[in-house]
Amino acid sequence: MDWQGQKLSEQLMQIMLLAFAVGAFATGYVIGSFQMMMLIYAGGVVLTTLITVPNWPFYNRHQLNWLDPSEAEKHPKPQVQQHISSSSKKKSSKK
Amino acid sequence: MHTYVYRLNVLLTEAITLLALMCAIASLSDKLNVASPSADIQVLHINWFHKQRNGNDEVSLTMNVSADLKSTFTWNTKQVFVFLAAEYETEKNYLNQISLWDAIIPSKEQAKFSYHTINKYRFTDQGNSLRGKKYNLTLHWHVMPKTGKMFSDRIVTTGHSLPEEYI
């Protein structure tokens, strides 16, 4: 999943779970059936799992553009001078 | 959220948290219920009333226990446990409570009942001070929820008394 897809998945997950929780409670309370509340909520959780967890194609619409390798070679990474010192153990290896 | 395992973890955690919230609110909704129960307990006959070999008094009663506990049931009620207690005062104890009979009411339809029964459990005193004793018969009930807090209440019927002499 790309970044936009992950954000979409998280939003969908939270909204769907909350909606099913509220809906299940309201329905159960009005009917007077605890079992109905549990069934509706369980169904809602399963539905949410099916929609938000697998890597569906609509989560991959905003592709990440990685830099092309040939382009990367034209701009080499700057090398940091390694300080060889017997007393200092700190390696300044910032790449 | 980059792997399905991570998403599954988040989903399950949120789902269970919301479930806990729903159960808490369901339990709170029990407080909205105003119950109007009624009960009537009559002692029809005293089967025997003697002193046991160890010196304690014992009574056996035939009673008619009728009650209507339908209004104590809510959508969040699993069952109602009801028991009948004889309560009286002696010199030794300020309050003696003896459970004579109990029952479990599993559903609202069975909550209006009338039992003609002898006491399920022995009515025995600590000592021998039951002759001529005035006692209350109290119907207690515990409303057991499917989730959350249990409520209990009672109805006291006064005016019962035991005979002056052993039968």
Same domain, B96 and B138: yes
At residue B128 the predicted structure's pLDDT band, cuts being 50, 70 and 90, is: confident
In a domain, B85, yes or no: yes
Inter-chain contact A9–B4, Cβ cutoff 8 Å? no
Is B4 within 8 Å of A55 (Cβ atoms)? yes
Interface test with B, best of A22, A25, A31, A36 (most B CBs within 10 A): A25
Which residues of B touch chain A, with CB atoms under 8 Å apart?
Answer: 1-2, 4, 7-8, 10-11, 14-15, 18-19, 21-22, 25-26, 29, 75-76, 146-147
Same domain, B143 and B126: yes
For chain A, give the percent of residues with pLDDT over 90: 46
Domain limits for position B10: 1-32
Strands of chain B (E only): list them: 38-51, 57-68, 77-88, 96-105, 112-118, 123-124, 134-145, 151-161
Which has the closest alpha carbon to B61: B141, B163, B129, B159? Answer: B163
Q: How far is A1 from chain B (nearest CA, A)?
A: 6
Is A85 within 8 Å of A91 (Cβ atoms)? no
CA A48 to chain centre: 15
| Number of structural domains found in chain B | 2
At residue A38, the pLDDT reads 94
Q: How far is B16 from chain A (nearest CA, A)?
A: 10
Same domain, B155 and B123: yes
Residue B108 is encoded by which pair of tokens? 């609202």
Burial degree of B160 (CB within 10 A; 0-12, 13-18, 19+): middle
Same domain, B96 and B21: no
Same domain, B82 and B101: yes
* Statement: residue B75 has pLDDT above 60: yes
First to last CA, chain A: 28
Instruction: List, in sequence order, every residue forming a beta bridge with B138; answer none if it has no partner.
Output: B85, B156
Q: pLDDT tens across A12-57, in order? A: 999 999 999 999 999 999 998 899 999 999 999 999 999 999 888 8
Same domain, B66 and B76: yes
At residue A90 the predicted structure's pLDDT band, cuts being 50, 70 and 90, is: low
Same domain, B59 and B95: yes
Same domain, B61 and B10: no
Query: A1 vs A34, which has greater pLDDT?
Result: A34
Nearest CA in chain A to B78: A34
In a domain, B166, yes or no: no
Same domain, B17 and B39: no
Inter-chain contact B75–A29, Cβ cutoff 8 Å? yes
Mean pLDDT of chain B: 92
How many angstroms separate the CA atoms of B97 and B85, rounded? Answer: 6
In chain A, where the domains are located: 1-56
Same domain, B19 and B73: no
For chain B, give the percent of residues with pLDDT over 70: 99
How many angstroms separate the CA atoms of B158 and B39, rounded? Answer: 12
Same domain, B22 and B92: no
| Residue A8 touches chain B, beta carbons under 8 Å | no
In a domain, B96, yes or no: yes
Q: pLDDT tens across B12-71, in order? A: 999 999 999 999 999 999 888 888 999 999 999 999 999 989 989 999 999 999 999 999
At residue A67, the pLDDT reads 81
Same domain, B28 and B88: no
How many angstroms separate the CA atoms of B59 and B167, rounded? Answer: 9
Buried b / exposed e across B130-156, counting CB within 10 Å, b at 16+?
beebebbbbbbbbbbbbbbeebeeebe
| Residue A30 touches chain B, beta carbons under 8 Å | no
